[in-house]
Amino acid sequence: MGGEIKYEIGQNAYIKLVLHALKHKTSAVNGILLGRVVKDEVVEISESVPLSHSQIGLLPALEIALIQIEDHYGSQGLNVVGYYHANERYNDFELGNVAKKIGDHIYRYFPQAVVLLLDNKKLEALPKGKDLSPVVQQLYTRDASKSWRQAGSDGGGRLTIKEPSSNIVLLDYISSEKWQEVVDFDDHLDDISKDWLNPDLFK
């Protein structure tokens, strides 16, 4: 089973993580992916929770966030299944140590855990509408040696977006600057009136 797992991400989960990265273009951003195993070899990612844009490697903040996330989404039958990350530098295509460590933490509880590394070049091209392929540059899973490896020759090959029109919908959100409304855990910790669940984002 280990080498054949495929990942399918829902439209809202995908759009939210992209908007989070677009809101903080000059910072590294990260977040948690939630979902469930729907078939033996398919992990369905149905929700994403933006975590940070400034406190990326801060363990206490991460632990507080994970407790709240698991508490809220566990009641809906969703588990933490992965992690997404966008590097600060435009030309940085490496999965850094912080991302690997957070991935390791998730892997302990969910052995099919995935780490998605966003492609900053595709993110920048999105508002221009030139490239409508998913903005995930690489998909990483843990191998037998417990290292994070890019999945296959094309990491994106094992990640599909459930709704093929998601990037078209995303462009509408970008043109209306909807990304300004995304709240991550950093924002919530600064001002607890800001809701990290983003309940109104898709209204």
CATH of the domain at 32: 3.40.140.10
> Is the pLDDT reported for residue 131 higher than 80?
no
Indicate whether 130 belongs to any domain.
yes
Indicate whether 143 belongs to any domain.
yes
- Helix pair 11-23, 166-175: axis angle to 10 deg: 40
Indicate whether 200 belongs to any domain.
no
Other CB atoms within 10 Å distance of the CB of residue 100: 18
Indicate whether 65 belongs to any domain.
yes
Indicate whether 26 belongs to any domain.
yes
pLDDT for the residue numbered 156: 44
Indicate whether 163 belongs to any domain.
yes
**Integer Cα distance of 201 and 123 in angstroms:** 19
Q: What pLDDT digit, counting tens, does each position of 6-27 carry?
A: 899 999 999 999 999 999 988 9
Indicate whether 201 belongs to any domain.
no
CA 101 vs. chain centroid, Å, equals 15
Indicate whether 199 belongs to any domain.
no
Segment holding 161, helix H or strand E: strand 159-161
pTM over 0.85? The answer is: yes
Supply the mean pLDDT for the chain: 87
Total number of domains constituting the chain: 1
Q: What pLDDT digit, counting tens, does each position of 96-113 carry?
A: 898 999 999 999 999 999
> Is the pLDDT reported for residue 84 higher than 60?
yes
Quote the domain boundaries for residue 17.
6-190
Do residues 140 and 117 touch, judged by C-beta distance below 8 A?
yes
> In degrees, to the nearest 5, what angle opens at C-alpha 91 toward C-alphas 164 and 65?
65
